Amino acid sequence: MATATQKKLGDEPTKAPSIDALNQARAALASGNLGEAVRKAQRSIKEESNLAAQLLLTELRCRQKDLGNARTEWEKLPKSLQRKAERECQKHEVDLSL
């Protein structure tokens, strides 16, 4: 499963609407619906800024081979999560270091 699904202290949302949207994004990814996963991850962030949804959104953009949006989302991550996103994106042949 995507690396964003691994819980890290402080990364996960705490408000119910944001948690629900993030869980829906993860479910959409698991079922292969990238477009829905993107929309739900964006909704989670809109409801409450959270790193789990931000990381997932970055990874989803890489899965879509959308370098421009992937880099935009990647730049919002702290350095430690940027490296994690870079590794995940390389699996999808997207190089965020350019």
Could you read off the pLDDT of 41-63 as tens digits, one per residue? 999 999 999 999 999 999 999 99
pLDDT tens-digit map of 55-94: 999 999 999 999 999 999 999 999 999 999 999 999 999 9
Spell out the SS3 assignment of 24-89.
HHHHHHHCCCHHHHHHHHHHHHHHCCCHHHHHHHHHHHHHCCCHHHHHHHHCCCCHHHHHHHHHHH
